[in-house]
Amino acid sequence: MTAAGGRPRWRAPAPHAAATCGGARSLVGFSRMRAGRGARRAESRARATQLTCRGRHHGRATRVALAIRQHRRSPPSVWACQGVKMNEDPKVNLSGLPRDCIEAGTPENISAAVPSQGSVVESEPELVVNPWDIVLCSSGTLICCENAVVVLIIFHSPSLRAPMFLLIGSLALADLLAGLGLIINFVFAYLLQSEATKLVTIGLIVASFSASVCSLLAITVDRYLSLYYALTYHSERTVTFTYVMLVMLWGTSTCLGLLPVMGWNCLRDESTCSVVRPLTKNNAAILSISFLFMFALMLQLYIQICKIVMRHAHQIALQHHFLATSHYVTTRKGISTLALILGTFAACWMPFTLYSLIADYTYPSIYTYATLLPATYNSIINPVIYAFRNQEIQKALCLICCGCIPNTLSQRARSPSDV
């Protein structure tokens, strides 16, 4: 290209080349050697080119430093969006973003992908609820509802003050506390997590379930005494003995529940934990062995009860001269009732008891939930077996609900098989 006077005009090279930015100083010396108007123009253009290159170098370094600083302050979610692994250094260019993100989007999207320091908000961890805990909490709610009805009936009816009803009330109260402990355990596990709440919750559950099993044993002893000492059962001695049993069973259950709270737990040494944290392996073994001992004692007592019932039924049949039919029906009903009581008790508690003896904290938690859930069902079934089948409690319930007693209940006589 030529100037207006015909002389060729000198033009500075393109600024994109690295030699242009680096050779600006040599160009200034060369332009001074030339005279005339074209030399002065070339000198001014060379100086402008030099200043432009310096500004580009300075601006590039500044943008790179800001991009690296923003990338380090960005949360992991921004790194993932930019395609950068957390354990690798990002490849930063002039814009401060990885090249893949720049090539894939527009400048507006790139600027929106890197939030400012003030707009970065750390996301809170999501609350994941175990379905087994939901089932246990539902079981606890049903346990509370059922046994609360039994407790209210016995407390509201002055006629239900016999030793047998006191023991049934003790069983209902223990199961009510067990259901309440399951609900509290669910609430504390997801809303108020601390070592103190864990210890208090597990102490309440251990004490209530221990009182429930001990109440079942006390009811069995009371039924045996009511049949073996039928003539002296309603004396003051029996009432005193009942209160002694209640004090002993609740005292023992309270002591068992206080053991984790007083320091016998595995919060400091996880290797000693049982299948139910924070109970230790030794604590769980003591509870399991105690349960097996009480189950063996209940089995022996119910065998004796069954023998007494059969003997009484035989004597009644001889007196009324219809031995064949009545004796067979009464005996079969008594054996069926005892089989229902012992079978339900063993089916509910035996899996968890044996599992606690052979397993520890290293076993999968699903086995613990699968064996513990049937144990809670025993507290659901207890009101049906021991309370709602009782004729006196049925009458009291009808009086509270509808204010009358059905004729079927008022005319029904108690048979020897009603054990």
| Residues 274-306 pLDDT 10s | 998 889 999 999 999 999 999 999 999 988 988
Q: Which residues have C-beta within 8 Å of that of residue 375, sequence separation ≥ 6?
A: 209, 348, 349, 351, 352
On whether the CB atoms of residues 150 and 169 are closer than 8 A, the answer is: yes
**Can you read off the two tokens belonging to residue 179?**
């259901």
Report the C-alpha gap between 149 and 208 in whole angstroms: 18
Per residue in 128-137, pLDDT (tens digit) is: 788 999 999 9
Report the C-alpha gap between 23 and 39 in whole angstroms: 17
Residue 79 has pLDDT above 50, yes or no: no
Residue 25 has pLDDT above 70, yes or no: no
Q: The tokens 């002389």 sit on which residue?
A: 7
Burial class (CB in 10 A: 0-12, 13-18, 19+), 135: middle
Confidence of residue 67 (pLDDT cuts 50, 70, 90): low
Percent of the chain with pLDDT over 90: 35
Which residue in 182, 242, 181, 179 sits closest to 215, CA to CA? 242
Q: From the CA atom positions of the chain, what is the Rg in Å?
A: 43
Residue 374 has pLDDT above 90, yes or no: yes
pTM: 0.67
- Report which DSSP code applies to 234: T
Q: What angle do CA 348, 349, 353 make, to 5 degrees?
A: 145
Confidence of residue 64 (pLDDT cuts 50, 70, 90): low
Other beta carbons within 10 angstroms of residue 348's beta carbon come to 20
Residue 184 has pLDDT above 60, yes or no: yes
**Can you read off the two tokens belonging to residue 200?**
């208090």
- Report which DSSP code applies to 87: T
Which residue in 284, 304, 302, 314 sits closest to 375, CA to CA? 284
Which residue in 419, 413, 277, 414 sits closest to 334, CA to CA? 419
